[in-house]
Amino acid sequence: MKFHDTAMTQHLPTSSRRSFLKGFTATTAAGIAMPNLLLRAQDTPAGKKLGIGCIGVGGKGFSDMESASWQNEIVAICDVDSNNLAAAAKKFPNAKQYRDFREMLEKEKGIDGVTISTPDHSHYPAAMHAISLGKHICVQKPLVNTLWEARELHKAATKKGIITQMGNQGHTYEQNRQLKEWLDAGVIGKISEIHVWTNRPIWPQGHAADPKPAQAVPATLDWQLWLAQAPDAEYRPKIHPFDWRGLFEYGAGALGDMGCHNLDPIVWAIGLGVPDRIEATADGLTDIAWPRGAKVGYIWENVPGHGKITLYWYEGKNTDGSDCLPPVPKDLNKPMGGTGFYLVGADGILCNEGSQAQKFTILPEARSQEFLASPPAKTLDRSPTPGDSQKEWSLAVKQGKHFPFMSQFDYAVPLTELCLLGALAIRTGTPIQWDQEKYLAIGNDAANKLIKRAQYRDGWEYTADKV
């Protein structure tokens, strides 16, 4: 795929496009049909609290735990690192403490819902064990770091009928709804190109992630529980709590980590489904680690209302050490920033600053003035808890159904799959043509070998047919 070295100034005419995923269509239709039926926080029955169990309570897990405690009770906390557990216990001293989530889930009968904020590779076993017991779950992004696990997770959650949520808080933002309303109103006309970039990785990738000499496991860490279903391995310095992100076995790289943020408003607002083709280039890819920099191109040949759309993803560094960024849009007279996106349409360009839909600029200025003089009405349901996935999820559990436009698994699994398909193209260096029904890359043995983990440790096998 050719990546542009000049700003897009010509906009191709477009015609028709491919159908969006069934789950998103159903969710969207439901939201439009009932725009004012959200359960507000003040409508929650007085004194009704959920029992929440939290798996992974360090870093982002700590803030997820705090959010989930809103109008609820944290009854149990679990972490493989005793330092994280001790800090969480200071905040919630009445919560039972565990190192093994399996033990917590089996013993604590008062758990209604579970937050899962562990390293990417252990999302799947924690979520599947919770699902098997009928617990509602809120899982940090990305849901998993292999495609096979994404499908199994979706099957299991659907089978058990639980309330689900992925922790990509930007999906609750006002601007997420606004973007769709603006695009539906034709703010920039038919879209032909999309450029999305991130300043990630901010952890070691490429040769910076080459194995360091093994060392003794820190006394505070249960290394075997940290590994979860991954093959046994020696402990390496700094892999916990952060550097795991850059490794194939445990993380999903920059695209897996940030795609569920950066791509979310675009995928949702336009209704992008399974791409027709994905291609990628990478710099510094190794046998064990994601690259120091990469560019990915997703192509949809026939997007309804638009026609052919190409989405370009940029991450990390170029070979010369410069930031991997898209061309600066025509008429943009300010820095683009370290992360953001812009959409190229027949009638203009819409730029966004930030890793979620946050701050929009319409180009050229004449189009901006024309459109904003009479902006479209707010027609889509807003989240009852803007900026907080865990609060939204807990309210949905209390009312017994998902809110319109939640990042529930019917939506979040396809979004995660989209990120993982791009990561698959990065890792293999081969074009990907994905067959969603057969769940494989057409004619691509190298890619198909990576759809599922090569090995699961004994006792850590979870499948949807056994929940």
Three-state SS across the chain?
Answer: CCCCCCCCCCCCCCCCCCCCCHHHHHHHHHHHHCCCCCCCHHHCCCCCCCEEEEECCCCHHHHHHHHHCCCCEEEEEECCEHHHHHHHHHHCCCCEEECCHHHHHHHCCCCCEEEECCCHHHHHHHHHHHHHCCCEEEEECCCCCCHHHHHHHHHHHHHHCCCEEEECHHHHCHHHHHHHHHHHCCCCCCEEEEEEEECCCCCCCHHHHCCCCCCCCCCCECHHHHHCCCCCCCCCCCCCCCHHHHECCCCCHHHHHHHHHHCHHHHHHHCCCCCCEEEEEEECCCCCECCCEEEEEEEEEEECCCEEEEEEEEEEECCCCCECCCCCCCCCCCCCCCCEEEEEECCEEEEEECCCCCEEEEECHHHHHHHHCCCCCCCCCCCCCCCCHHHHHHHHHHHCCCCCCCCCHHHHHHHHHHHHHHHHHHHHCCCECEECCCCEECCCHHHHCCCCCCCCCCCCCCCHHHC
**pLDDT computed for residue 174 by the predictor:** 98
**pLDDT computed for residue 350 by the predictor:** 98
Domains within the chain, CATH numbers bracketed: 22-171+385-409 (3.40.50.720), 174-372 (3.30.360)
pLDDT in tens, the chain (467 residues): 666 543 333 332 233 333 333 333 333 333 323 333 333 333 435 348 999 999 999 999 999 999 999 999 999 999 999 999 999 999 999 999 999 999 999 999 999 999 999 999 999 999 999 999 999 999 999 999 999 999 999 999 999 999 999 999 999 999 999 999 999 999 999 999 999 999 999 999 999 999 999 999 999 999 999 999 999 999 999 999 999 999 999 999 999 999 999 999 999 999 999 999 999 999 999 999 999 999 999 999 999 999 999 999 999 999 999 999 999 998 998 888 999 999 999 999 999 999 999 999 999 999 999 999 999 999 999 999 999 999 999 999 999 999 999 999 999 999 999 999 999 999 999 999 999 999 999 999 999 999 999 999 999 999 999 99
